[in-house]
Structure 1
Amino acid sequence: MKKWGIAFLASLVVLVLAACNDSAVPTKGSENNSELTLEEVYQKALERQNELESVSAIVDMEQEMSFGSGEEAIEINSKSDMKMDMITKPLSVYMEGTIGTGDQEAAEELNMNLKMYMTEDGLYMHDGLEAYWTKLPTDDFDAILVQTAGQVNAAEQLEQMKEFISDFKFEQTDSSFILKLDTSSEKFNEFMLGQLNLNEMLATEETQQLLQDTKFEKVGYEITINKETFDITEMVNNINFTMNIEGESISTISNSKISFNNFNGVEEITIPQEVIDTAQEIEY
């Protein structure tokens, strides 16, 4: 569970963009309309992204997971509220917040406080249920660092999303460009599986089989870009997927919103020496 928890936290760092050649459709009531095409907007956003040295974000995520049927049906809900600071070079991340979980039979929701540091010195996490910090083993950390660095690379994301260019809708308000994608295609299912392919971090036959038995039934993206600065200010992601584990079907609905702010305002992320000195390495 520790490894999955760390993978979840690392995945919140991901930024996604896409491009096409149509100009944005104005939303009702908007007056400050731009004739820029999505391709042009993307290029400007990409240039801005490459200049970005740091950013902060507020992450809200809700998830509903259900499995079983009849009297044996179980539904588990979780909600996370996180704050994140990130420096791009060298990649450094600090996150803190809460994750709440509960099921239909629980008298009250279980809330857990989380903190995480990720720098070149390692990945350290405190989950509030234990009185000490934990450290990810070096081999696993190296894999996460490489993967996360690739995911926050906007140019790499564009290359991966090229085949879905025609599926995006492009809109604009007075202050923002909005990119939207809603799909359930088999092609996108394969793409999402590729994004979740954590070979380096979770290189087991069981994990690979789990990914192969996962189907994305609905995927929705909404990405908001500031018209003046071309910063990504918000990303909304709604995903419905089903996975089969030992013959049991588990359905998950995941909705998340990431609001970005404080562009180039994060000066330094340093792991406190006390955390480094007292952390216990995770054992699986």
Structure 2
Amino acid sequence: MRTKRYAIGIAALLAVTMLAACGKNDNKPAESPSASPSASVSASPSASAPASPSASAPSAENSKLSAAEVFDKTIEALKPINSYNLSSKISQKMTPANAETITNDISMDMDLVNSPLSFKQLTNITSNGVAQNVEMYYTKDGMIMKDPSSGTWMKLPQEQTDAALAGMNQDDINPSKEMEGLKPYAGDLKLEETDKAYIVKLDASGEKFNEFVRQKALENLQNLASENPDFKIHKVDYAFTIDKQTYLPISADINMNFDMEFSGQQMAVDQKIAIDYSKFNEIKEIVLPDEAKSAVGASQ
């Protein structure tokens, strides 16, 4: 059970960390969250993205941008973004030393408003063939969730809410702040482009990325921090698809393979993350469904 808890926890950590690193504005309808970089590029840029002055056609100047310059422009484009939708899929295999592999498939659809912080999150977790759906809201009423077993809506106690929100301060969930965390590796970025999108790629393999991954883990999972885990990165590939007109992210694909050790336990992790982004600044407010307002302690 302990190992399974870490399997779910690390999956959630990497979903939040890597998608935020990509630009954390997200959630396209769940029709195609597993799009690969090539599939994402073939689609037209998100119709919901705010128009930019250069929205007519890519200029000759744009075509000469470096990968680092595109990354910087995306950071700037994300700064005024206060809300977005994120759709993600995670396929993960975790193999503890001398134990059978744990397989997790996680899909998440999230509407998020940065200020004041509020969100709606729908998550489906299938672990070794056992599925569970979780529906959760965080608003001025607190954190309200539907019990997966009984279907009853309940309000989490403050201490549980605080634990769930740990690490989700404004800087942590601000897309541009998270992307800035990758700027020390700007020299490792590679750029490809199509008529409508840039594809910024990063091979984040090697010793120099170990501390980056470790710090992100400690920031986002307090229960993991107490274990003081060590990470050894074998392979991490990023591909960020960015709208050429708006410089806002369309999608991200992250493939990673690493070893982690905590409390004397070793675990090999292999996972693929696919993220779609949409509804930039379209979400004005997170509203509880009527049936959730009956949760114990929730405001009416």
RMSD over equivalenced CA pairs, Å: 3.4
User: Structure 1 counterpart of 2:252, which letter?
Assistant: M
CA distance in 1, matches of 2:160, 2:233: 27
Identify which of 67, 82, 87 aligns with 1:58: 87
Partner of 2:67: 38
Output the CA distance in 1 between the equivalents of 2:205 and 2:122: 33
Q: TM-score, normalised by structure 1?
A: 0.76
Q: In the TM superposition, what whole-angstrom CA distance separates every residue of 1:212-254 from its partner, at most 9, and x where no partner exists?
A: 3333332221111100121111011122222234543221112
2:105 is matched with which residue? 79
Shift in CA distance, 211/235, structure 1 to aligned 2, threshold 3 Å: farther
Q: Report the TM-score, using the length of structure 2 for normalisation.
A: 0.72
Counterparts of residues 184-195 of structure 1 (less than 5 Å): 184-195=205-216
**CA shift for structure 1 position 126:** 3.0
User: Would the aligned equivalents of 1:132 and 1:280 in 2 still touch at CA under 8 Å?
Assistant: no
CA contact (8 A) 1:216 1:242 kept: yes
Paired residues of 1:81 and 1:99 also in contact (CA < 8 A): yes
Out of 3, 17, 20, the position equivalent to 1:15 is 20
Q: CA deviation at 1:132?
A: 2.8
1:254 aligns with 2:276: no
1:115 matched to 2:135: yes
Q: Percent identity?
A: 30
- 1:146-157 equivalent positions in 2, closer than 5 A: 147-148=167-168, 149-157=170-178
Q: CA deviation at 1:89?
A: 2.0
Q: State the secondary structure of the residue aligned to 1:147.
A: coil
Matched-pair contact (CA < 8 Å) for 2:15–2:90: no
Higher relative contact order by CA 8 Å / sep ≥ 6: 1 or 2?
2
Corresponding letter in the other structure for 1:178? I
Question: Which residue number corresponds to residue 132 of structure 1?
Answer: 152
Do 1:124 and 1:279's aligned partners in 2 also have CA atoms closer than 8 Å? Answer: no
Q: Greater CA deviation, 123-132 or 230-239? A: 123-132
- Which runs of no fewer than 5 residues in structure 2 stay unpaired? 24-37, 43-57
Q: Return the offset for 1:195.
A: 0.5
TM-superposition CA deviations, 1:62-87 (whole Å, max 9, x none): 11111244xxx411111122222122
Q: Give 1:195's aligned amino acid.
A: K
Q: Which sits farther off after the overlay, 144-153 or 259-268?
A: 144-153
Indicate the structure with greater strand content. Answer: 1
**Relative to 1, partners in 2 of residues 1:144 and 1:112: Cα closer, same or farther, differing over 3 Å?**
closer
CA distance in 2 between counterparts of 1:81 and 1:168 reads 28
**1:220/1:238 contact within 8 Å kept:** yes
SS in 1 for 2:286: coil
2:29 paired residue number:
none
Q: Residues 206-217 of structure 1 correspond to what in structure 2 (within 5 A)?
A: 207-208=224-225, 210-217=227-234
Unaligned runs of 5+ in 1: 19-26, 103-108
For residues 3 and 68 of structure 1, the distance between their equivalents in structure 2, rounded to whole angstroms, comes to 16
Aligned-partner residue type, residue 251 of structure 2: E
